[in-house]
């Protein structure tokens, strides 16, 4: 991951060495989109106690994707819990005009902010804005968006997020062609850029995703879709670890 000479601001929420370590090791990132929002703190505590070091938050605006979810207030509410456990807040902005909200999410506690290539006609500017706000900068790609569209941006981001479902709703089936796309992305990206995959991640495909080159695996219903959240997280983590 690129350091401050590339534009990273000094005032981080987590120590920079911790962010770099977490972004460049294999982690299951539980997505709270599938959590029980009536017991959100309890659900997040369970995955943190089970060993989660990255917690994924999906932000949707009802325009870029057909759903509406959370805003900076939820990020701020979870910040003490997640940072207190030494974990990262990984915020995925599935919204139009993300540049209008980057600073608010960074101030709320986001350690990583990913914006969509499809939503940013001035992507380079937005990536620098994220870094100046003190977060690591990520670019997300929808299933129909080619990896090669990042020809310039790949040199100015810290993470690339490959969507392996069409964004907007949890619980969707993994798009099988995403495996080859992840492998292509890993070859195409600089070594210091983390690679995240989001959508349809289960214990059945976790090892293959890691072998293809992903190091951050976002999992929603696979973690939060049952009663024993910690056990389900552990199963996924073990499956991903088999590829190491």
pTM of the model: 0.91
- Considering the candidates 58, 90, 111, 158, report the single residue annotated as catalytic: 58
Q: Is 111 a catalytic residue?
A: no
CATH number at residue 46: 3.20.20.70
Given a contact cutoff of 8 angstroms between Cβ atoms, the answer to whether 103 and 79 are in contact is no
Summary mean pLDDT of the chain: 90
Taking the chain, what is the end-to-end CA distance rounded to the nearest angstrom? 20
- Considering the candidates 43, 111, 158, 198, report the single residue annotated as catalytic: 198
Q: Who has greater pLDDT, 23 or 237?
A: 237
Query: Mean pLDDT, to the nearest integer, of 21-34?
Result: 90
**For the chain, how many structural domains are there in total?**
1
Domain extent for 51: 4-241
99-157 pLDDT tens trace = 999 999 999 999 999 999 999 999 999 999 999 999 999 999 999 999 999 999 999 99
157-179 pLDDT tens trace = 999 999 999 876 666 789 999 99
- 202-226 as b/e, with b when 16 or more CB fall inside 10 Å? bbebbbbbbebbbbbbbbbbbbbee
71-87 pLDDT tens trace = 999 999 999 999 999 99
Q: Is 49 a catalytic residue?
A: no
**DSSP H/E element including 235:** helix 229-241
Residue 9 has what pLDDT? 46
């Amino acid at each position: 991951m690129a350091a401050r000479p590339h534009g990273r601001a000094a005032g981080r929420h987590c120590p920079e060495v911790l962010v770099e370590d977490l972004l460049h090791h294999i982690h299951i990132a539980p997505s709270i989109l599938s959590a029980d929002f009536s017991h959100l703190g309890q659900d997040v505590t369970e995955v943190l106690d089970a060993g989660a070091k990255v917690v994924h938050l999906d932000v949707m605006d009802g325009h870029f994707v057909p759903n509406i979810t959370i805003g900076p207030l939820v990020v701020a509410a979870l910040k003490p819990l997640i940072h207190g456990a030494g974990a990262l807040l990984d915020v995925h902005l599935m919204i139009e005009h993300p540049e209008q909200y980057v600073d608010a999410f960074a101030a709320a506690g986001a350690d990583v902010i990913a914006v969509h290539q499809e939503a940013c006609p001035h992507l380079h500017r937005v990536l620098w804005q994220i870094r100046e706000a003190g977060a690591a900068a990520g670019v997300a790609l929808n299933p129909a968006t080619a990896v090669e569209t990042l020809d310039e941006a790949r040199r100015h981001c810290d993470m690339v997020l490959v969507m392996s479902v069409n964004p907007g709703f949890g619980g969707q089936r993994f798009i099988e062609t995403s495996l080859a796309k992840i492998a292509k992305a890993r070859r195409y990206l600089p070594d210091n850029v983390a690679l995240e995959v989001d959508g349809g991640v289960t214990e059945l495909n976790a090892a293959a995703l890691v072998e293809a080159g992903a190091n951050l695996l976002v999992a929603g219903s696979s973690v939060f879709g049952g009663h024993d959240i910690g056990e389900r997280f552990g199963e996924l983590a073990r499956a991903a670890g088999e590829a190491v």
